[in-house]
């Protein structure tokens, strides 16, 4: 098993690069997050194309070349101690073939983001470097708790995480330990069969998603099954399933943990024996608590659920 590198804790005054690797953002959407970085004692350094807008069937934060330039600068600049994505959206798949990591590997730094950033995090893990699957700088329409951000800063300062959750009716009990992988289900699905896909053997997989019709959710879960993923993993953590299904037909619309989406996933997994946790607070939800991709994670699912690394 490849040894995973965990970036060094940040010291007071360390520089954190803020970049937009995917969708476009407005300055007003990042004001609170950038101010927060300053208030925590760090220096935000804005990417050249942080606020660039390029429309090509989608509002990207710049052309592919511009976004590639920003992420390679942020990952490799020796003065930068962490890289924080402004948002997700779509566009990170454009970048991974062009990432240059020579200086990054010599001086690894935390990469923070979720949603479309799952693509970047899968790539970094293949290079042996852990990352933080947590809230982006842009505060979403459903808001972000202070605790969600504070926990990210705890990780940046070198602290480890422990979570204790109430049991869920769909949970499958068990006590396991393994490397944590995953992120947004749509991107895990999009990377299947490519050289950039996560390696699933003996891993604990985390999934979350937003805005997918139920048939699309089922298709993605089926694809993971057909790819043999569920025969390889040691356990599964299911996070937010937000705004799923058709708004007209879904009484659970706006729920962070869509009941029918959970039921669908549970039914597809019924033939597998590995432990499963439902209702973990991470994803496109207000209480978006960070996970460390690549961490050696302990998962204890009983009357209560304990997760730690």
> What does the pLDDT look like over 38-73, one tens digit per residue?
999 999 999 999 999 999 999 999 999 999 999 999
CA-wise closest residue to 297 among 143, 194, 215, 179: 179
Can you point out the beta strands (E) in 149-262?
162-166, 174-184, 203-210, 235-242
Taking residues 184-204, report their average pLDDT.
98
Annotated catalytic residue within 49, 133, 168, 284: 284
Report the pLDDT value the prediction gives residue 1, as an integer from 0 to 100.
63
Taking residues 152-171, report their average pLDDT.
95
Taking residues 167-184, report their average pLDDT.
96
Report the pLDDT value the prediction gives residue 112, as an integer from 0 to 100.
98
Per-residue pLDDT tens for 210-269? 999 999 999 999 999 999 999 999 999 999 999 999 755 555 545 799 999 999 999 999
Report the pLDDT value the prediction gives residue 143, as an integer from 0 to 100.
79
Q: Is 208 a catalytic residue?
A: yes
Burial 224-239 (b: 16+ CB within 10 A, else e): beeeebbeebbbbbbb
169, burial (CB in 10 Å: exposed 0-12, middle 13-18, buried 19+): exposed
Report the pLDDT value the prediction gives residue 2, as an integer from 0 to 100.
76
CA-wise closest residue to 244 among 263, 228, 225, 231: 263
Taking a C-beta distance cutoff of 8 angstroms, is the pair 84, 16 a contact?
Answer: yes
**Residue 76 scores a pLDDT above 60:** yes
Signed CA dihedral, 164, 168, 170, 172: sign only: positive
Taking residues 17-46, report their average pLDDT.
97
Annotated catalytic residue within 86, 115, 140, 256: 115
Report the pLDDT value the prediction gives residue 249, as an integer from 0 to 100.
58
Write down all domains in the chain, each with its CATH number in brackets: 15-156 (3.40.50.10740), 162-308 (3.50.30.60)
Between CA 209 and CA 23 the distance in angstroms is 17
Q: Is 284 a catalytic residue?
A: yes
Burial 15-52 (b: 16+ CB within 10 A, else e): bbbbbbbbbbbeeebbeebbebbeebebebbbbebbbb
Between CA 190 and CA 116 the distance in angstroms is 11
Q: Is 197 a catalytic residue?
A: no
Annotated catalytic residue within 122, 208, 255, 256: 208
Dihedral angle computed from the Cα positions of residues 51, 55, 59 and 65, in that order, rounded to the nearest 10 degrees: -60
Per-residue pLDDT tens for 107-152? 999 999 999 999 999 999 999 999 999 999 997 667 789 999 999 9
Between CA 36 and CA 56 the distance in angstroms is 32
Report the pLDDT value the prediction gives residue 309, as an integer from 0 to 100.
82
pLDDT > 70 in the chain, percent: 96
DSSP state of 252: T
Report the pLDDT value the prediction gives residue 36, as an integer from 0 to 100.
97
Per the prediction, the chain carries an average pLDDT of: 95
């Amino acid at each position: 098993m490849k040894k995973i590198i965990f970036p060094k804790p940040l010291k007071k005054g360390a520089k954190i690069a803020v970049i937009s690797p995917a969708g476009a953002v407005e300055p007003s959407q990042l004001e609170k997050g950038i101010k927060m970085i300053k208030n925590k004692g760090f220096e935000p350094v804005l990417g050249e194309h942080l606020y660039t807008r390029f429309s090509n069937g989608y509002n990207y934060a710049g052309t592919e070349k511009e976004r590639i330039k920003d992420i390679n600068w942020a990952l490799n600049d020796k003065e930068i101690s962490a890289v924080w994505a402004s948002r997700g959206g779509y566009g990170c798949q454009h970048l991974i073939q062009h990432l240059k990591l020579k200086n990054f590997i010599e001086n690894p730094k935390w990469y923070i983001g979720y949603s479309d950033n799952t693509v970047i995090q899968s790539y970094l893990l293949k290079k042996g470097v852990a990352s933080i699957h947590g809230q982006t700088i842009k505060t979403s329409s459903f808001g972000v708790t202070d605790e969600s951000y504070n926990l990210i800063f705890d990780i940046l300062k070198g602290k480890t995480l422990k979570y204790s959750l109430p049991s869920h009716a769909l949970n499958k009990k068990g006590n396991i330990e393994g490397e944590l992988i995953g992120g947004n289900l749509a991107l895990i699905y999009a990377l299947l069969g490519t050289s950039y896909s996560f390696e699933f053997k003996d891993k604990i997989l985390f999934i979350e998603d937003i805005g997918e019709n139920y048939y699309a959710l089922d298709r993605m879960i089926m694809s993971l099954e057909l790819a043999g993923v569920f025969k390889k993993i040691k356990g599964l953590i299911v996070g937010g399933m937000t705004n799923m299904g058709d708004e007209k037909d879904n009484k659970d619309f706006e729920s962070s943990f869509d009941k029918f989406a959970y039921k669908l996933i549970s039914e597809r997994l019924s033939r597998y024996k590995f432990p499963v946790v439902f209702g973990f607070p991470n994803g496109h939800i207000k209480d978006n608590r960070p996970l460390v991709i690549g961490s050696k994670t302990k998962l204890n699912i009983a009357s209560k659920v304990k997760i730690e690394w």
